[in-house]
């Protein structure tokens, strides 16, 4: 644990660097945006100093430092990744909106995966994911009244970002509690989230660009296409194979069958889910099937 003076020096250095960096864009964005970003940075550093000051008291509360470590892992990924994407998109290269949305989406589900894989316990991971959504929701709710908010984050309709944030991180927290907490399978929680995130991105990008043949399957959304759905199956399956081979001890035939069955079920669930609720339904279905395949393989072994 760092002493107070080194941390204070880090905070002062960070604040100075952030101020100098934001000054470069002072004439390119409105003053409110600069103020909000600066305020957010100072709030985070102030919170770090408060935690450091009361560390002896906080250390007596269960899971506090485990959650703080997990939150540190999450923020260490989310903040630089989101900052780089926003800076590149708005100041250097105009990334197509559908691609930019999926890239932001990727930052979100990858951050959940990082938290799960690096957490000390399922409790720390689940609490961190839920807490992150709870803390971020109020400022995003306020920010969405700013006229530039929708353009900044490519929001399609009012309230979409806030709703998606809560749904994504609370779903990931719940799946972590079930897969890792109830069934002692940390790898399944991470695999399900990655399969959904990568597959959903492929379905959206390929479907919008090349989709010409509606699926016409029972209960399916008529706007969804075979091109997008098959892309989701392929990418989800490949992601599942890589994750299961790296994170579990399952044999290759079991991994291939598990990834194929789960990818097909996930893609069909995405087809029949409306109103953006696939953030909840798809990873849930993937988690259930991955667990069933795991237990089935273990029973037959």
Q: What is the per-residue pLDDT across 68-118, written as a single tens digit (0 to 9) for each?
A: 899 989 989 998 898 888 888 878 888 888 888 889 899 999 999 999 999
Closest alpha carbon to 40 in 81, 83, 6: 83
The ranges assigned to domains in the chain are 1-60, 62-182, 184-301
Q: What are phi and psi of 153, to 5 degrees?
A: -110, 15
267 confidence band (pLDDT: 50, 70, 90): very high
pLDDT over 80 (residue 11): no
Report the C-alpha gap between 53 and 169 in whole angstroms. 29
Strand partners, 145: none
Contact 282, 273 (CB under 8 A): yes
* pLDDT score of 19: 63
Q: What is the per-residue pLDDT across 25-59, written as a single tens digit (0 to 9) for each?
A: 555 556 666 666 666 666 666 666 666 666 677 66
Report the C-alpha gap between 268 and 107 in whole angstroms. 24
Residues above pLDDT 90, as percent of the chain: 49
Contact 171, 203 (CB under 8 A): no
* pLDDT score of 167: 93
pLDDT over 70 (residue 139): yes
Secondary structure of the chain: what % helix, strand, coil (to 5)? 80, 0, 20
* pLDDT score of 269: 96
The DSSP symbol for 158 reads T
What average pLDDT does the segment 215-241 reach? 93
Q: Rounded to two decimals, what is the model's pTM?
A: 0.82
């Amino acid at each position: 644990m760092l002493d107070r003076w080194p941390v204070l020096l880090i905070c002062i250095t960070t604040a100075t660097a952030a101020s100098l960096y934001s000054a470069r864009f002072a004439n390119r964005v409105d003053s409110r945006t600069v103020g909000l970003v600066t305020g957010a940075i100072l709030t985070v550093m102030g919170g770090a100093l408060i935690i450091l000051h009361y560390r002896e008291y906080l250390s007596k509360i269960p899971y506090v430092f485990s959650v703080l470590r997990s939150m540190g892992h999450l923020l260490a990924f989310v903040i630089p990744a989101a900052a780089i994407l926003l800076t590149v998109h708005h100041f250097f290269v105009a990334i197509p909106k559908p691609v930019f949305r999926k890239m932001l989406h990727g930052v979100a589900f990858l951050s959940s995966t990082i938290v799960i894989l690096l957490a000390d316990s399922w409790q720390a991971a689940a609490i961190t994911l839920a807490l992150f959504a709870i803390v971020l929701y109020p400022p995003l709710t306020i920010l969405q009244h700013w006229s530039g908010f929708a353009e900044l984050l490519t929001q399609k309709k009012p309230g979409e970002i806030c709703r998606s944030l809560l749904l994504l991180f609370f779903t990931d927290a719940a799946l972590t509690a079930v897969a890792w907490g109830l069934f002692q399978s940390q790898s399944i929680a991470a695999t399900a989230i990655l399969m959904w995130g990568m597959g959903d991105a492929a379905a959206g990008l390929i479907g919008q660009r090349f989709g010409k043949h509606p699926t016409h399957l029972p209960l399916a959304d008529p706007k969804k296409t075979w091109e997008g759905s098959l892309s989701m199956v392929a990418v989800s399956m490949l992601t599942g194979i890589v994750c299961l081979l790296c994170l579990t001890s399952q044999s290759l035939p079991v991994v291939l069958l598990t990834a194929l069955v789960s990818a097909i079920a996930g893609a069909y669930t995405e087809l029949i889910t409306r109103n953006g609720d696939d953030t909840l339904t798809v990873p849930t279905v993937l988690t259930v099937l991955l667990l069933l395949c795991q237990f089935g393989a273990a029973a037959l072994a």
